[in-house]
Structure 1
Amino acid sequence: MLDENIKSQLKSYMGMIVQPIELIAHLDDSAKSAELRELLTEIELMSDKISLVEQPEGSERTPSFDIRRSGTDISVCFAGIPMGHEFTSLVLALLQVGGHPIKLDESVVEQIKNLDGDYLFETFFSLSCQNCPDVVQALNTMSVINPRIRHVAIDGALFQNEVEARQIMSVPSLFLNGEAFWQGRAGVEELLSKLDTGAASRKAEELSKKDPYDVLIVGGGPAGAAAAIYAARKGIRTGIVAERFGGQVLDTMSIENFISVQETDGPKFAAALEQHVNVYGVDIMNVQRAEQLVPGEGLIEVKLESGGSLKGKTVILSTGARWRQINVPGEDQYRNAGVAYCPHCDGPLFKGKDVAVIGGGNSGVEAAIDLAGLVKHVTVIEFGDALRADAVLQRKLLSMKNVTIITSAQTTEIHGDGKKVTGLSYKDRLTDEMKQIDLDGVFIQIGLVPNTEWLKDTVALSRFGEIEIDARGQTSIPGVFAAGDCTTVPFKQIIISAGDGAKAALSAFDHLIRTSVTETEDSVTNEVVSA
């Protein structure tokens, strides 16, 4: 099942297992069970510390398998065949259950160990979702550290009946003890913050006690990461606070235009950013949302939603952007219940169904092309009188037989039955006629909106909400700089954001030097006058 190159790499990883583990397989006579049996047999042969045991009974889902540390209750479970983006989750689970050290701060490990209660988590994922592995790996790790936490990772495409019964229309979808618990990407710290209700206040108090930074960066995407590296290389105290390190790049499926990196995906790129930032000892404060910017003489304060507060002699704003909404009735009501923004993540859940893509730019047309290979039919709805995507993408889209393109159409409402999407209405802008389409899902792809609402009435913003900056990245407030997709810089690209982040850091360093020189001159002047 695995090619020779992957087998060779996997075998070297299996050599890191230090404690015996059992692969307990729950199989039947289906083709998928045969496929899983082949995979597990190949893994068993890679280490004498791995044994495969078939148990037809004992699981509500087939095919599935447990990875269990022999003689203990430490285990994780996969329902399905964890290939695609989840192959890394499989490898990590094998290593961690097998006793390989877990890379988490000791304080986080202790917090997991001290969780009081019994937790059964079920995560529904799709193999094409780049967001799902974070949740799967986080919960697998937590279940290895604390056996009172049990976790089952379920391939939604393989267990469609369960997906339908639970009305799951977006992944990752996470259930705790049978009840909906979390939707979307999350790491260990985010999940802990919801399980351990006192963690947020403790963290806020800890952050507020930190000394001021020479450069405090708000936002952990490519701009923020580049700013942190360039600032830290100057030997000055640098901190970066982010809602999620990696930012919107985590939601990017394929990156093929970052110079010198021929091809990668968003999560891998984000992980590389964080590793690079860590090399320079930058203080990374993750899972923290900025709430208010308070300019002041000498120090600038950033207040956090958690109640904490950080200060910096200079601040770099790199909060990025998020998917733009169409703001029509039904959009918020049916978010994750048929309304989606990531075709790679949620597309497999709509197999054999009718969906629409709103937006005829590159993102919209790429989404339609991807979905057309999975769903029954795709309707592309474009507000303008023609698609705006690159010609090569339009040609590909037009070649697909299960795609309908509607232009000059204004979406006015998304309909549902109270539980999920059932269709949408749009106005024909040429005739003003109202029309309706029956659908199972709506994918919205109409661009980005900057994450700057918290900055209103502080720094100057454009009419689109972007932070206004000059050629040096300086905002309207001295000592406050900005970079990336949240600014007025045109062309929202990763490489441009990274370059602007570096520029903002150099500008902040220059500001610090000039400010310190001015303060020294003032001090000398005062001494002369006093004499």
Structure 2
Amino acid sequence: MLDKNLETQLQAYLQKLTRPVHILANTDGGEKSTEMMQLLRQIDALSPKIDVEEAQDSSLRAPSFALTTPDQDIHLRFAGIPLGHEFTSLVLALLQVGGHPIKVSDEQREQIAALDGDFEFETYFSLSCQNCPDVVQALNLMAVINPRIRHTAIDGAAFQDEVERREIMSVPAVFLNGEAFASGRMGVDEFLAKLDSGAAAREAEKIDRKDPFDVLVVGGGPAGAAASIYAARKGIRTGIAAERFGGQVLDTMGIENFISVPHTEGPKLVAQLEQHVRDYDVDIMPLQQASKLIPGEAGLHTVELASGAQLSARSVIIATGARWRQMNVPGEDEYRNKGVAYCPHCDGPLFKGKPVAVIGGGNSGVEAAIDLAGIVSHVTLLEFDDKLRADAVLQNKLRSLPNVTILTSALTTEVLGDGRKVTGLRYQDRSSGESHDVSLDGIFVQIGLLPNSEWLKGSLELSERGEIVVDARGQTSLPGVFAAGDVTTVPYKQIVIAMGDGAKASLSAFDHLIRSSVPEQDAARAAA
């Protein structure tokens, strides 16, 4: 299962174990159970602190295995074979159960340990989902810290009967005590915010007490990260408030055009960005959504957050990025996560052997169709224009696939369903005006991005598309407020461009602070 290189790396990690790890495997004699046992025996051979026991218990999922250690009440289980993106989750679980220090703050550890109640979590993931490991790893470490938290991470492709019975059409999907609890990417902070009812209010109070910043960055994507680093390097008081660190990059599978890095993945790049920011004296405020910009008096601007808390700063850099554009047709909202999806890498495996559609003929749409064609029974790609807009090399690959139908001049008008899940879509042929129905089980929407700028209406000049209008220095229509990245009018929404814009906006903000401080100092001297 593991090649020699991976074995060597894993063996080095397992040297960090400080206490025994007992792996109790549950099998049923099937092929998947055999594969799982092969993996577990390889791991067993890499450390004297690991031992594996095999059993057959019909009351438990098979194949699955639990990780335990003597004299510790830990309830952590993997159902299926956690390879792919989840192999890292397995390695971290082995280390944490084996006594290696867990990377959480003292405040987070105390909050996890203090959770009152019995929590039985089940997380359904797919091995190709780049968002799933964050959820699995967060709940695993919480289960190690708090014995009243139990967690089972389940490969949806290995337990299709459960996926269909629970009508799971999007991963990660989290159930708590048998009921649907959450979906989508979440970390420890997000889980604590949902489980600890007083956490949001306490955080809002703490934020309200913060002194004004020299530079406040709103948004934690590539532009926001670059802006905060450049500001902190100037030695000025810097804060960054973000709904989630990484933004859209977290949902990007393969990145091959980030100059000097031939290939990386979104979550990996985001982890590196966040660590780089944390290397500097930056006040990071996660899970904070901006709701209003209040133009400043006496040289201070104010950003009001959804929690009601307020942050003030001498200069503000807005880098709130963009989000997936929706079709805005009947049925889309009703069947979101019930067949309507936006991440083919995450949710594609849930539609194995089933017909699906991809909406959008740009690079994202064509890449999604190519990837899905290797999993599903058939892909129908619909493009509003009379031709595809993707790069020629992608179009050629798409047209070579036997299980793909391409429909151009096709306007999607409705998502069809039976009240529980998607059953098809309706589109209009823009050439003939005729309406057609296509029977399918999933719809993947890939039609571009919308800027996250609604909260700025009335405060800043916005373009017709809702982008923040900026000049060559990143300056907005309000002095002292700058913007960078996908939320702005800067053309070509690319990671490398967003980073450069963030750095530029930060340097511009610093220049603004230097220049605006001179009159204040003169006035102070005159008053003296």
> Shift of residue 57 of structure 1?
1.2
> Shift of residue 262 of structure 1?
1.4
Q: 2:146 matched to which residue of 1? A: 146
Partner deviation per Cα, 1:385-408 (whole Å, 9 max, x = no partner): 011110000000000000000010
Secondary structure of 1:158's counterpart equals helix
| TM-score between the two structures when normalised by the length of structure 1 | 0.98
2:309 counterpart of 1:313: no
Secondary structure of 2:40's counterpart equals helix
Superposition map of 1:95-174 within 5 A: 95-174=95-174
- Distance in 2 between the 1:50 and 1:524 partners? 71
Superposition map of 1:88-487 within 5 A: 88-297=88-297, 298-487=299-488
> Shift of residue 31 of structure 1?
1.2
- Distance in 1 between the 2:92 and 2:178 partners? 26
The answer to whether the 8 A contact 1:26-1:59 is kept is no
Partner deviation per Cα, 1:201-255 (whole Å, 9 max, x = no partner): 0010001101111000000000000000000000001000000011110000011
- Distance in 2 between the 1:370 and 1:448 partners? 20
Secondary structure of 1:159's counterpart equals helix
- Distance in 2 between the 1:4 and 1:267 partners? 25
> Shift of residue 452 of structure 1?
0.5
**One-letter amino acid matched to 2:360:** G
The answer to whether the 8 A contact 2:249-2:270 is kept is yes
- Distance in 1 between the 2:234 and 2:22 partners? 50
- Distance in 2 between the 1:260 and 1:70 partners? 47
Partner deviation per Cα, 1:400-451 (whole Å, 9 max, x = no partner): 0000000101000001111100000011101111110011000000000000
Instruction: Provide closer, same or farther for how the CA distance between residues 75 and 12 of structure 1 changes in structure 2, counting only shifts above 3 A.
Output: farther
Partner deviation per Cα, 1:320-365 (whole Å, 9 max, x = no partner): 0000001000001000000000000000000000000000010000
> Shift of residue 517 of structure 1?
1.1
* Equivalent residues, number: 527
- Distance in 1 between the 2:283 and 2:495 partners? 23
Identity of aligned residues (%): 67
Partner deviation per Cα, 1:49-106 (whole Å, 9 max, x = no partner): 1110112116521100001112322131000000000010000000001111011111
The answer to whether the 8 A contact 1:328-1:414 is kept is yes
The answer to whether the 8 A contact 1:385-1:407 is kept is yes
Partner deviation per Cα, 1:370-389 (whole Å, 9 max, x = no partner): 00000000000000101111
- Distance in 2 between the 1:59 and 1:137 partners? 25
Bigger drift between 359-368 and 64-73 goes to 64-73
The answer to whether the 8 A contact 1:409-1:429 is kept is yes
- Distance in 1 between the 2:290 and 2:296 partners? 17
The answer to whether the 8 A contact 1:328-1:412 is kept is yes
> Shift of residue 260 of structure 1?
1.4
The answer to whether the 8 A contact 2:26-2:60 is kept is no
The answer to whether the 8 A contact 1:69-1:75 is kept is no
**One-letter amino acid matched to 1:222:** P
4+ residue segments displaced more than 6 Å: none
- Distance in 2 between the 1:70 and 1:13 partners? 21
**One-letter amino acid matched to 2:271:** A
Partner deviation per Cα, 1:141-171 (whole Å, 9 max, x = no partner): 1000001000000000010000000000000
- Distance in 2 between the 1:88 and 1:12 partners? 14
Structure 2, unaligned stretches of length 5 or more?
A: none
Superposition map of 1:512-527 within 5 A: 512-525=513-526
- Distance in 1 between the 2:27 and 2:72 partners? 23
Superposition map of 1:14-29 within 5 A: 14-29=14-29
Secondary structure of 2:405's counterpart equals strand
Q: 2:36 matched to which residue of 1? A: 36
Structure 1, unaligned stretches of length 5 or more?
A: none
The answer to whether the 8 A contact 1:27-1:33 is kept is yes
> Shift of residue 521 of structure 1?
2.6
Secondary structure of 1:355's counterpart equals strand
- Distance in 2 between the 1:70 and 1:329 partners? 55
Secondary structure of 1:295's counterpart equals strand
> Shift of residue 36 of structure 1?
0.6
The answer to whether the 8 A contact 1:112-1:145 is kept is yes
- Distance in 1 between the 2:73 and 2:400 partners? 54
Bigger drift between 215-224 and 278-287 goes to 278-287
Q: 2:84 matched to which residue of 1? A: 84
- Distance in 2 between the 1:463 and 1:89 partners? 44
Bigger drift between 70-79 and 105-114 goes to 70-79
Partner deviation per Cα, 1:497-523 (whole Å, 9 max, x = no partner): 000000000000000000111212333
The answer to whether the 8 A contact 1:17-1:99 is kept is yes
Bigger drift between 54-63 and 403-412 goes to 54-63
Aligned Cα root-mean-square deviation (Å): 0.9
The answer to whether the 8 A contact 1:412-1:427 is kept is yes
The answer to whether the 8 A contact 1:120-1:150 is kept is yes
> Shift of residue 127 of structure 1?
0.2
Secondary structure of 1:154's counterpart equals strand
